[in-house]
Amino acid sequence: MKIAIVYGSTGGNAEDVAKKIQSNLKVDAELLDIGSTDADTINSFDALILGSSTWYDGELQDDWDAFDMDSLELKGKKVALFGVGDQQEYGDEFCNALGILYEVCVQKGAQIYGDKWSTEGYDFEASNAVVDGAFVGLAIDQENEEDLTDERVEKWVKNLEESSFFS
């Protein structure tokens, strides 16, 4: 099973989180920067972990924004998501890019894993990455809670392993 972690990152935070996810996995996964890969490459994987930091007014990171989402073939594909944001400065749209990725993936028929991630322990006002009271993927705040990142990544990857994402 071929797995890729595809991230969009402007200042390196989402990239760091992608690398942490990669090093926690018990299986090999290729790391791809959405700014320097193409749809054919992404479509060649069996399962995807997609992540973006949030920018501007709760938007996708620039490289994701420039990417043609229509070119992704996600029907029936296993997809897990992560987002990186800042709860203190942008507490009204915390990790909105995670919610945007989720909507695209659901619309395209992906099977979402790693969702129902608890909002407990976070401190924000609103996020479109919260559906039915839980995040639709791993939410990370490198600006204010970097000390919690390793623990969060570890737990989220463990949840993924306990699901059928890797089988």
Ligand X SMILES: Cc1cc2nc3c(=O)[nH]c(=O)nc-3n(C[C@H](O)[C@H](O)[C@H](O)COP(=O)(O)O)c2cc1C
| Residue ranges that bind ligand X, judged by CB under 6 A | 9-14, 53-56, 58, 61, 84-86, 90, 93-96, 142-143
Nearer to ligand X, 110 or 129 (CB): 129
Measured distance CA(57)–CA(23) in Å, rounded: 31
Q: Which residue is nearest to ligand X (CB)?
A: 85
Nearer to ligand X, 105 or 140 (CB): 140
Q: Which residue intervals of 37-148 are DSSP H helices?
A: 39-43, 62-66, 96-107
Nearer to ligand X, 46 or 150 (CB): 150
Measured distance CA(129)–CA(126) in Å, rounded: 9
Shortest distance in whole angstroms from residue 60 CB to ligand X: 10
The SS3 assignment for 159 reads helix
Shortest distance in whole angstroms from residue 59 CB to ligand X: 7
Nearer to ligand X, 35 or 166 (CB): 35
Q: Which residues contact 28 (CB under 8 A, 6 or more apart)?
A: 3
CB contact at 8 A, 6 and 42: yes
Nearest to 128 by CA among 163, 83, 78, 79: 83
Shortest distance in whole angstroms from residue 26 CB to ligand X: 25
Shortest distance in whole angstroms from residue 96 CB to ligand X: 6
